A and B are shown apart, each in its own frame.
Chain A
Amino acid sequence: LAKTTQPISMDSYEGQEVNITCSHNNIATNDYITWYQQFPSQGPRFIIQGYKTKVTNEVASLFIPADRKSSTLSLPRVSLSDTAVYYCLVALRGGNKLTFGTGTQLKVEL
């Protein structure tokens, strides 16, 4: 299973765009890249998933370069409610594990 590396923490202000980059140098050909958000004492919540290039949904965008060794989660115009831990995972779609690392603690201030 590919290991991921993300910054431990990031700070931002309301209204700004936040980009969290994840490194996954050993990603396998069939692995997908998935991001989750977790608020304190709640279970993680799926944000977005991608395989290559760019994926966008109503919450975020995911940018994946051609070599797939990294990915960037982009949160447009963050608000205080986006303060949470964000996890980057790589996994087979039908695989037996979703392995969560320590994630990135995003703190959004006024």
Chain B
Amino acid sequence: EAQVTQNPRYLITVTGKKLTVTCSQNMNHEYMSWYRQDPGLGLRQIYYSMNVEVTDKGDVPEGYKVSRKEKRNFPLILESPSPNQTSLYFCASRVNTEAFFGQGTRLTVV
């Protein structure tokens, strides 16, 4: 089954404690991206990757890092999380304009 898998689904952490949200896809898609979704602001793109070792900033990249060492994985790294990064995060892989989204990670930073 074609899918995008994110982990963890839920995470509560403290300010400044580094964390990584993993994302894996099994469709051999070259394009992957991360979004955050906040009430009233919709889905905003954080980072995207057009292929292995190729990443670029989206609309709201501040406070985030990503890496793309292999095609299937695209982890999102928060080096020093802050409360304003409390949000619902989605990873997606894509072919043309058809994107496949993960189940989401609800992150709370206290």
Q: Which residues on A are within 8 Å of B, measured CB to CB?
A: 32, 34, 36, 41-46, 49, 87, 89, 91-94, 96-103
B92/A43 in contact, CB under 8 A: yes
A94: chain B residues within 8 A (beta carbon): 96
Whether B56 sits at the interface, judged by CB under 8 Å, is yes
Interface residues on chain B, number (Cβ under 8 Å): 25
A42 to B88, CA, bound (A): 9
A34/B97 in contact, CB under 8 A: yes
Residue of A32, A43, A101, A102 near B101 (CB, 8 A) is A43
A41-B48 contact, Cβ under 8 Å, with A96-B56, A97-B58: no
How many inter-chain contacts with C-beta < 8 Å in the A-B complex?
Answer: 56
A42/B96 in contact, CB under 8 A: no
B101/A45 in contact, CB under 8 A: yes
> Would you list the 8 A-B pairs with minimal beta carbon distance, nearest first?
A43-B101, A100-B43, A93-B96, A34-B97, A43-B90, A46-B98, A102-B42, A32-B97
A43-B102 contact, Cβ under 8 Å, with A96-B50, A102-B42: yes
Q: Which residues on B are within 8 Å of A, measured CB to CB?
A: 4, 33, 35, 42-43, 45, 48, 50, 56, 58-59, 88, 90, 92, 94, 96-104, 106
B88/A99 in contact, CB under 8 A: no
Q: For residue A2, give the distance in angstroms from its CB to the closest CB of chain B.
A: 13
Closest to A89 in B: B97
A100: chain B residues within 8 A (beta carbon): 35, 42-43
A49: chain B residues within 8 A (beta carbon): 96-98
B56: chain A residues within 8 A (beta carbon): 96
B96: chain A residues within 8 A (beta carbon): 32, 49, 93-94
B98/A97 in contact, CB under 8 A: no
A101/B99 in contact, CB under 8 A: no
B104: chain A residues within 8 A (beta carbon): 41-43
B48: chain A residues within 8 A (beta carbon): 96-97
A34: chain B residues within 8 A (beta carbon): 97-98
A99: chain B residues within 8 A (beta carbon): 45, 59
